[in-house]
Amino acid sequence: MLNRPCLALLTAALLFAGCTKQESPASAGPGLAPRKVLRYGNGAEPQDLDPQIVTGTPENRLITTFSEGLVSEDPQMNIIPGVAERWEISPGGLTYTFHLRADAKWSNGDPVTAQDFVQSYQRELTPAIGSEYAYMLFNHVRGAKDYYDGKIRDFAQTGFQAPDPRTLVITLRQPAPFLLHAMNHYAWYPVHIPTVKKFGGLDRRSTAWTRPENFVGNGPYVLKEWKPNQIIVAERSPTYWDRARVKIDEIDFYPIELADTEERMFRTGQLDITNEVPLTKLAVYRREHPESVRVDPYDGIYFYRFNVLRQPFDDVRVRRALALAIDRESLVKYVTLADEAPAYSFVPPNLLGYRSEHAFKADPGEARRLLAEAGYPGGRGFPRVELLYNTLEKHKTIAEALQQMWRKNLGVDITLTNEEWKVYMDAQHSHNFQFERAGWIADYVDPHVFFDLWETGNGNNDTNWGNPEYDRLLHSALATSNNPDRFAIYQRMEKILVDEMPVLPIFYYTRARLVSPRVRGFFTTPLDNFSWKYADVVP
């Protein structure tokens, strides 16, 4: 009798033993070429697959798999044709005319037309669907903001026109020299209008059109299966115009939030590419499996934000003192560990050829002098300062290292406070902080992204800092059509930032991940976008 539970266990174990582990990724029927399957760890579960609704990185990866925009980027960040095979830009830089390729097709066989784009943009600018990236259109395109605000009712009055099925004309309200790069963002991607209409209409936010049984896309892959929190299966599209270049038959996206779980799945061969690498494992992999470690630059900056209305950061000398007093080289070498570049300016290095000329240097002596000048010699009398960061081990470690450097080099004590993500974000946006950790990743590849941010009153500035000359330069840069002249203006803006230091740059991000040696031709852009059509796997 005592043994009954044990017997039950044994039986269960035998039953399980009869089952097999996950199917081999390259399996196929007898006589058939092995099916090429790539398994990718994609971070969090995506909110949805509707390019006009979602925000976020895991969603970006999926949408660029299932959909395609007018233009694309090659591994060297050059703009290359997407749905548009060619385009012209008017001399003043205000009108863009795109010529759509004849063989661009939706996954149900319908041709991709200019009208699809116009109607998609109309949907995105419909207030009722609550598109969070609608500003990407209405900040640039003529009449789009008025349509969004209900000031004009007729969409034909906006700058989106489709004179014929294969011609799309976009007219801007002011020049945007980076527009083609910005168009790589999925906010500019089309949706299949008949499908969206069928499942609720163009003005409904929450509909079922993105379910696998309904989804129609125009990208290199089609959505085959979506089991929430388990797997999203993408299968090679038979209708995609560039299908000859696509080599992998199936991509399985696994939503895995925990880097440690990913790493274990990589070790058992369940994943070919991970989304990240646990920091504690990076050194081990570099030593024992260097062929699997991949670290790429990532266009983003890790910085600390001052609230310039709060003491003691209302004094620029204090802000500069803190910025000059830390040893960024040691930080990236011993704490962050993923080959990050120390940041002495505000724009990641070599962004479309832009290199900061006004980078500052670490100088603890000068930092002490500035602090003394501000009335805190040797840190004496320095008020209580609280550094806020969102609860995460990495941020804590970085904050502790910097806290030590400030204590040692300036004699000031900074208190560390952590808050859960949304509480921390709420404090930031309501300016209810003194000093806080922050980060910014570019939406598109252009230095403008990192200058636009510090415009007076920008929704993401959050420092309370502003400078009229800086704002004036920002606007004059947009009106400058060639990059060398535009970049010269950005240099002057960067000088203002270095002098006034509204934020404290720390390092430029990188993306570290594990990539199995069976994956070939995998590249990632500085925005961490990758086009799967260049990748291949060997069995």
Partner 1 sequence: MLRFIARRLLETIPVLLIIITATFFMIRFVPGGPFTAEKAVTPEILRNLEAHYGLNQPLYRQYLDYLGSLLHGDLGPSFKYPNRTVNEIIGDKLPVSLELGFISLSVALALGLTLGVLAAIRRNTWIDYVCSSAAMIGICVPTFVLGPLLVLTFAIHFGWFNASGWYTPIDRVLPCLTLGCVYAAYIARLTRGGMLEVLNQDYIRTARAKGASETRVIFRHALRGGLLPVVSFLGPAIAGILTGSFVIETIFQIPGLGREFVNSAFNRDYTLVLGTVILYATLIIGLNLVVDVVQVWLNPKLKFE
Binding part of the chain for partner 1, among 108-116, 131-139, 332-340, 469-477 by CB under 8 A, reads 131-139
Q: Is 417 in the site for partner 1 (CB under 8 A)?
A: no
What lies within 8 Å, CB to CB, of 186 at 6+ separation is 51, 54, 59, 60, 63, 64, 67, 69
Q: Which residue is associated with the tokens 């031709």?
A: 521
Q: Is 427 in the site for partner 1 (CB under 8 A)?
A: yes
List phi, psi (to 5°) of 428: -65, -55
Q: Considering only residues 114, 196, 265, 277, which one is a binding residue for partner 1 as defined by CB under 8 A?
A: 265
Q: Considering only residues 37, 38, 53, 325, which one is a binding residue for partner 1 as defined by CB under 8 A?
A: 53
**Residue 390 DSSP class:** E
The amino acid at residue 210 is T
**C-beta of 131 vs 525, nearer to partner 1:** 131
Contacts of range 90-96, beta carbons closer than 8 Å, 24 or more positions apart: 92/175, 92/481, 93/172, 93/175, 93/176, 93/177, 93/481, 94/171, 94/172, 94/174, 94/175, 95/169, 95/170, 95/171, 95/172, 96/169, 96/170, 96/171, 96/172, 96/179, 96/180
Contacts with partner 1 by CB under 8 A: the residue count is 67
Q: Is 248 in the site for partner 1 (CB under 8 A)?
A: no
Q: Is 331 in the site for partner 1 (CB under 8 A)?
A: no
Q: Is 388 in the site for partner 1 (CB under 8 A)?
A: no
The amino acid at residue 311 is Q
Q: Considering only residues 11, 13, 157, 314, which one is a binding residue for partner 1 as defined by CB under 8 A?
A: 13
Binding part of the chain for partner 1, among 261-269, 316-324, 331-339, 360-368 by CB under 8 A, reads 261-269
**C-beta of 148 vs 490, nearer to partner 1:** 148
Min. distance of Cβ 256 from partner 1 in angstroms? 6
Binding part of the chain for partner 1, among 184-192, 221-229, 289-297, 346-354 by CB under 8 A, reads 221-229
Residues 153, 149: Cα–Cα separation, whole Å? 10
Write the interaction track for partner 1 spanning residues 170-209; mark x where CB under 8 A is met and - where it is not.
Answer: -----------------------------------xxxxx
Q: What's the farthest any 2 CA atoms get from each other in the chain? A: 90
Helices (H), 374-482: 393-410, 421-429, 448-452, 468-478
Residues 196, 212: Cα–Cα separation, whole Å? 13
Q: Considering only residues 42, 43, 50, 122, which one is a binding residue for partner 1 as defined by CB under 8 A?
A: 50
Min. distance of Cβ 273 from partner 1 in angstroms? 15
Q: With contact defined as beta carbons under 8 Å apart, do 234 and 251 qualify?
A: yes
Q: With the C-alpha atoms ordered 172, 178, 180, 186, is the resulting torsion angle positive or negative? A: negative
Min. distance of Cβ 390 from partner 1 in angstroms? 10
Burial of 496 (0-12, 13-18, 19+ CB in 10 A): middle
Q: Considering only residues 120, 122, 131, 434, which one is a binding residue for partner 1 as defined by CB under 8 A?
A: 131
Q: With contact defined as beta carbons under 8 Å apart, do 524 and 485 qualify?
A: no
Q: Is 394 in the site for partner 1 (CB under 8 A)?
A: no
Q: Is 228 in the site for partner 1 (CB under 8 A)?
A: yes
Q: Considering only residues 27, 157, 174, 229, which one is a binding residue for partner 1 as defined by CB under 8 A?
A: 229
Q: Is 488 in the site for partner 1 (CB under 8 A)?
A: no
Min. distance of Cβ 12 from partner 1 in angstroms? 8
Min. distance of Cβ 145 from partner 1 in angstroms? 9
Residues 356, 350: Cα–Cα separation, whole Å? 8
Q: Is 264 in the site for partner 1 (CB under 8 A)?
A: yes
Distances (CA, A) of 400 to 303, 337, 384, 393, 406: 15, 15, 16, 11, 10
Supply 333's token pair: 């070498």
Q: Considering only residues 92, 127, 378, 539, which one is a binding residue for partner 1 as defined by CB under 8 A?
A: 127
Q: Residue 263: which H helix or E strand, with range?
A: helix 259-267
Residues 200, 206: Cα–Cα separation, whole Å? 8
Q: Is 210 in the site for partner 1 (CB under 8 A)?
A: yes
Min. distance of Cβ 101 from partner 1 in angstroms? 30
Min. distance of Cβ 250 from partner 1 in angstroms? 15
Q: Considering only residues 74, 88, 149, 329, which one is a binding residue for partner 1 as defined by CB under 8 A?
A: 149
**Residue 273 DSSP class:** B
**C-beta of 22 vs 174, nearer to partner 1:** 22
Binders of partner 1 in range 441-480 (CB under 8 A) = 459-460, 462
Q: Is 509 in the site for partner 1 (CB under 8 A)?
A: no
Strands 435-441 and 385-390: parallel
Helices (H), 444-520: 448-452, 468-478, 483-500
Taking alpha carbons only, the member of 352, 506, 368, 486 closest to residue 437 is 506
Residues 448, 350: Cα–Cα separation, whole Å? 13
Q: Is 132 in the site for partner 1 (CB under 8 A)?
A: yes
Min. distance of Cβ 262 from partner 1 in angstroms? 9
Q: Is 153 in the site for partner 1 (CB under 8 A)?
A: no
Q: Is 484 in the site for partner 1 (CB under 8 A)?
A: no
Instruction: Provide the binding-site residues for partner 1, judged by CB under 8 A.
Output: 1-2, 5-6, 8-9, 12-13, 15-17, 19-22, 45, 47-48, 50, 53-55, 127-132, 134-135, 148-149, 205-211, 227-231, 254, 256-258, 260-261, 264-265, 267-268, 270, 420-423, 425-427, 429, 439, 459-460, 462
